[in-house]
A and B are shown apart, each in its own frame.
Chain A
Amino acid sequence: MANLLFSVALSIALLAVVISFFRLLIGPSAADRTVALDGMTIISISVITAAAFFLGRVIYIDVALVYALISFLGVIAIARFIERGL
């Protein structure tokens, strides 16, 4: 029962990643693409944590934490690049 519920939640989150990906493809400006990338990475953190639940390994939550850290730094760097160049 619980596994079924978490499978449904994981499917919805993966669908959200796919939908955000279209904005990454068609976004008119670089800021649009960065917003879509930011959304995708934040949704992916939930997906990684769900994978940790299904595989039963707590170490994958650390992977999600490092992923969150790197995506945050990446978005900050891209925004700085958009604002005033390298």
Chain B
Amino acid sequence: MELQSVLPVLGGLISIVGALFLLLAAVGIIRMPDVYNRMQTGTKATTLGSILFLLGIGIAEPSWLGKIVLLILFIVFTNPISSHVLARAAHFRGIPLAEGSVRDCLADDEAGEQGVCE
């Protein structure tokens, strides 16, 4: 078997793994109890899933790899920023944590307490 026929199959398998991570992220967005947990699954799992999915396509079409890597870098840099800004907005809007959450370090910081968070 030469490389030319193996690469697309390998890329397809990697893309399927990435798509499963994207599906997990979507299920987490539905199932998680509050905004902050949803944000956590919706950011981390989609980042990893997008990286794997795009890398699979880049492996299947090696001449596209430059643009694919550019897209991956863009997602890796911007996804945490948007998640951080959203979490900050939700916190300052006063959306409460879910039942069973144990700590809110940002609220402690605002109250001036030196707790476990330091």
Contact = CB atoms under 8 A, between A and B. Distances in A.
Interface residues on B, range: 35 or more
Given A35-B38, A82-B93, A76 B29 contact: no
B22 A46 contact: yes
B35 A15 contact: no
Contact of B42 (A10, A35, A65): A35
Interface of A: 1-2, 4-6, 8-10, 12-13, 15-17, 19-20, 22-23, 29, 31-32, 34-36, 38-39, 42-43, 45-46, 49-50, 52-53, 58, 61-62, 64-65, 68-69, 72, 75-76, 79-80, 82-84
Name A's interface SS.
helix
A1 B75 contact: no
Interface of B: 8-9, 11-13, 15-16, 18-20, 22-23, 25-27, 29-30, 35, 38-39, 42-43, 46-47, 49-50, 53-54, 56-57, 60-61, 63-64, 67-68, 70-71, 74-75, 78-79, 81-83, 85-86, 88-90, 92-93, 95
B86 A79 contact: yes
A9 B14 CA distance: 9
